[in-house]
Structure 1
């Protein structure tokens, strides 16, 4: 089968790989659609995401939908031809965090398309990936598999919004107008936010944010706009989705006393950030990582037509040329979510 494989930084290929035999509890899928994530882009650009370093060839991809092709004889509840959403997380179920229900913090997590462990956990960007049957959520026959492939990043946004607490009537700032930023806006709006301000340094990204429903936008690369915005700190909740230290600082400056900052994007190691107002304004800062049961909720909202995330998809491409896919995905001026297929 064909698979999109990262070998090292700037070395991504369409390889041919042998299909693995099915073990007890597993299902073989027929890949439908997959979304290129920021972590996939980091692996291709830098050969790593934070402390997760590519040391061996690894199939990329953790945002995808599929159709069941084959199941192990002991598997029940799935059958060939069933459309499925695939949860890329496979927690161990036995560590202290799993026992507490905080499976996103599992100390033995196997997450698809991740180099955090060795051997690496292969991802789903393959013609016939094998997953645990428990990772599959069966879908109605008429489910839009392209739309369902948005469930994983939307689950990240739903988890962050849940950690923020009650957003009803709140003024929300989101820094980073990429895919996660836009999905955070959807999640915050559904949670009752009264006003959503989207900040970014790319004017084209801000124009898209207006079209996608942000109430106000802020060009955080324009000192005059920033000075005016910060003249009266009024933000109740800030979601930092860019991973840029200057965006973190902007959130701190913009938050009113007793406000909350959710760090969603990966900050670089030893990031130079300013924390003085953390003390004087009694701010609350929380890290937010992946999701728990929000994945199933994201799938439900998509399948039940409670949200329409399709406007965030800006390109559909074949994986026959992975380098072209990642060139497009890295173009933050013209591109949001790149959806891939075979």
Structure 2
């Protein structure tokens, strides 16, 4: 039996990993730390058994991971829409790492390479996958998701295992913290692509959270002329104005004032990133006849909406969900410095401060993207 040895980091020591030719490799002493959600408000760093490595997989030394809105929903409510936490689950789908072990069939990746991970795991057999729409896969196993049982564990562990095909190699020395923003930026690029922004168009972005801010960056790069961003938090608006030069308007507790709407006038394309019924209503009022609205934010259940304007103005309303080839485009733009997203990283915490980090991530007045890492 052929055996190959690799070294992986393990807290303050190195463990020897025994790779055995076959369907899996067994990590000796395979216990690691992981960020685990059990129910609403119940999150902790716990000991977790390491996953045996298959032929087409790699094991990573975790570098940095971003707390997403869905992670916050699991923490705050124990669910995201109909995806309910019913068993302990490792969170996280925005993360980077360094390859520390590779399966027998893996090519194109080598030990020590820095990578960022595409968290999508489509089935590649359903009708949507067959049509090339893998992001709409009917059996998607997205990392860090409770959509299925057993749940699909995420990447917030010391040594996550992923398919080699999920990895995108990064330039050596590239900031792995910034690289963790590839996934949310891919979401932004996909939404903007659906908006089909004409050169010089007037574009409205509602919501200046993480996705809204990244959408504003992507919209500006896509050729938006007049760029307008609205949000309830003034610090978020100040930040996005500095990065993109956008006009900004602060929304009150209910909606934008009539005076502010008059100043904005009509827009060609709206990207609704707030996930708010009021924001969508405003978008319908402000989008020109035969304009386009792309719904990016998740609306709450039974949100009261006034949709008559869609009919009378023949406005197109599209949903935007995750991404397709935009993940590779996000990696390209970020690593080639076509965009600088570093200013959106507003908090860095160790996993030992995980609850503090999640509280910070929920504070929209202070933070856009909060990142986590493991102490070495």
Q: TM-score, normalised by structure 1?
A: 0.97
CA contact (8 A) 1:219 1:226 kept: no
Query: Which residue of the other structure, out of 15, 19, 44, is the alignment partner of 2:75?
Result: 44
Give the corresponding residue for 2:104: 73
| 1:220 maps to 2:223 | no
| Pair 1:163 & 2:194 matched | yes
Deviations 1:56-86 (A, max 9, x none): 1110000001000101112111111011110
- Corresponding position of 2:152: 121
**4+ long deviations beyond 6 Å:** none
The counterpart of 1:310, out of the listed 330, 333, 342, is 342
1:320 is matched with which residue? Answer: 352
Q: In the alignment, what sits opposite 1:7?
A: 38
SS in 1 for 2:54: coil
Structure 1 unmatched runs, 5+: none
**Equivalent residues of 2:293, 2:318 under 8 A apart:** yes
- Cα distance, 1:10 vs structure 2: 0.5
Match of 2:66 in 1: 35
Instruction: Check the 8 A contact 2:190/2:326 in 1, yes or no.
Output: yes
CA separation in 2, counterparts of 1:7 and 1:229? 44
- Verify: 1:252 aligned to 2:284, yes or no: yes
| Structure with max Cα Rg | 2
Where does the alignment leave 5 or more consecutive residues of structure 2 unmatched? 1-31
Distance, in Å, in 2 between the alignment partners of 1:125 and 1:78 is 21
Q: Who is 2:21 aligned against?
A: none
State the Cα deviation string for residues 138-195 of structure 1 (Å, max 9, x = none): 1221222111111000000000011111331111111111011110011101110001
Task: Work out whether 1:151 is the aligned partner of 2:188.
Answer: no
- Give the direction of change, closer, same or farther, for the CA distance of 1:209–1:20 in structure 2 (3 Å limit): same
Task: Provide the rounded CA distance (Å) in 1 between the counterparts of 2:253 and 2:88.
Answer: 42
State which drifts further: 205-214 or 219-228: 219-228
Equivalent runs, 1:242-321 vs 2, <5 Å: 242-321=274-353
Greater RCO (Cα-Cα under 8 Å, separation 6 or more): 1
Distance in 1 between residues matched to 2:225 and 2:183, nearest whole Å: 25
